[in-house]
Structure 1
Amino acid sequence: MSESLKVLLVDDDPALRGMVAFALESEGYEVDEAESQTTAKAAFENFEYPIVVLDMGMPPHEHTTKEGVDVLNWIGIYHPMTLVIVLTGQDAQATSYVVLKEGAFDFLEKPISESALVLAVKRATLFYQQNQKLRTDEGIQKMQINAPIGEGVKPVRNQAEEKMLRQILADTNFNVHESARRLGLKRENVYYLIKKYNIERPEYEGQ
């Protein structure tokens, strides 16, 4: 990891928070913890977190995804450069569709393994660093300042995400399996992003 990033961990389960914090701190990350929507929002008053690990089911609606989705939406509006990795024990298929649609960077189903979590955070770190470089190299900071009020900079993050995806698809001759491996994503997530950005398979010679 080229630089140490601080991660905000949002989960009402202290045992899980302890496990996740230990795994990430062992990899050189700093970890702050929050146990609710309220404390998660309060944490952002003191620091602009590049990465958030967010549980979907928290009190007072721990049996639904409401609290997690509310936090995800709030981050998307007020901290759109923050990458959110979602954890859930809810219906995986339905939840993954909702959270990816709402702008989550990644999705992990409980029970999670330390290795899968660390891989997801490292992938988010790489993307965040590349995104920061893109903003600097291509003057996206200026675009951010000039963005219409109410739009924020979510379109900028989408632009960086789309550019990275297109580059990897081009490098692999549109091999989704290999692209998913390089990105550390599931193939269905890559297909979702291809559809999201209306990326069409190019015609290669000999095809």
Structure 2
Amino acid sequence: METILLTEDDVALRAQMRFALEERFEVLEAGDVRKAINLLNKHDITLAILDLGLPPHENTPDEGLRLLHYILENFGIKVIILTGQKTESAALEAIKSGAFDYLVKPASIEQVLFSIERAILFRDTERKLEEQGLAKITFGIEVGKGLQPAREEAEKNIILKVLKDTNFNVYKSAKLLGVKRESLYYFIKKFGFRREDIDADA
């Protein structure tokens, strides 16, 4: 079972999310940076869900960003950011720093689960690429574009990377990405990928 670290200082929200997730995942809870770091060092954690506004500075993103940097530097797991409506600039900073995704509170459980599934898919795809001696995926995201474009840019980059490494073989690419070929064709059309463009960049 995958293990998720949920770091959120709102006790009620944390309990609600834990209840919704614990049927499918082992959920470890933290209300501050110190507790989160303690859990990270004691458990094999799959990914982290992180609120940016953590004590003792709940009204700023400083503690959340500090924990994000610590996680990425020491554990390299995917991190999903929880952000308020008024903290878009902080969420963008988190994405720029390497966070995998963001969710605006209050996020629905469907949104949370979808983000978790994407994070696990990206992690598994990166592992498959590394096992085959292929380069790890990197995201050249232009943060100034906004949050939704940043998310789409990440999707675009991972799909483009896999298509390049398989010489635009849709069957192999779909297998690596863990999606149906029909879904991959949708993304190819969505992002306007063409074989000649990929060959030109090679």
Answer whether TM exceeds 0.5 for this pair: yes
Which runs of 5 or more residues in structure 1 are unaligned? 141-155, 180-200
Higher helix share: 2
Superposed displacement of residue 105, structure 1: 0.2
Larger deviation, residues 52-61 vs 92-101: 92-101
Measured in 1, the distance between the counterparts of 2:43 and 2:121 equals 20
Measured in 2, the distance between the counterparts of 1:136 and 1:47 equals 24
1:112 alignment partner, SS class:
coil
User: 1:42-64, CA deviations, whole angstroms, 9 ceiling, x for partnerless residues?
Assistant: 11111231200000001111001
Q: Which residue of 1 aligns with 2:12?
A: 15
Q: Which residue of 1 aligns with 2:86?
A: 91
The answer to whether 1:53 aligns with 2:34 is: no
- Counterpart contact for 1:6–1:51, Cα < 8 Å: yes
1:33 alignment partner, SS class:
strand
Cα 1:157–1:23 change in 2 (3 A) is: farther
The code of the aligned residue for 1:40 comes to A
Q: Which residue of 1 aligns with 2:190?
A: 175
Superposed displacement of residue 90, structure 1: 5.2
The answer to whether 1:123 aligns with 2:118 is: yes
User: 1:14-48, CA deviations, whole angstroms, 9 ceiling, x for partnerless residues?
Assistant: 1111111111113x111111111111111111123
Superposed displacement of residue 131, structure 1: 2.0
User: Superposed, which structure 2 residues align to 1:83-162 within 5 Å?
Assistant: 83-89=78-84, 91-138=86-133, 156=136, 158=138
The answer to whether 1:165 aligns with 2:159 is: yes
Cα 1:135–1:168 change in 2 (3 A) is: closer
Aligned residue-pair number: 161
Cα 1:14–1:98 change in 2 (3 A) is: same
1:31 alignment partner, SS class:
strand
Measured in 1, the distance between the counterparts of 2:163 and 2:33 equals 35
Q: Which residue of 2 aligns with 1:153?
A: none
Cα 1:164–1:118 change in 2 (3 A) is: same
Cα 1:168–1:59 change in 2 (3 A) is: farther
Which runs of 5 or more residues in structure 2 are unaligned? 140-153, 169-184
Q: Which residue of 2 aligns with 1:31?
A: 27
Measured in 1, the distance between the counterparts of 2:57 and 2:78 equals 23
The answer to whether 1:79 aligns with 2:94 is: no
- Counterpart contact for 1:92–1:109, Cα < 8 Å: no
Q: Calculate the TM-score normalised by the size of structure 2.
A: 0.70
The code of the aligned residue for 1:68 comes to G
1:8 alignment partner, SS class:
strand
2:42 alignment partner, SS class:
coil
Measured in 2, the distance between the counterparts of 1:168 and 1:137 equals 14
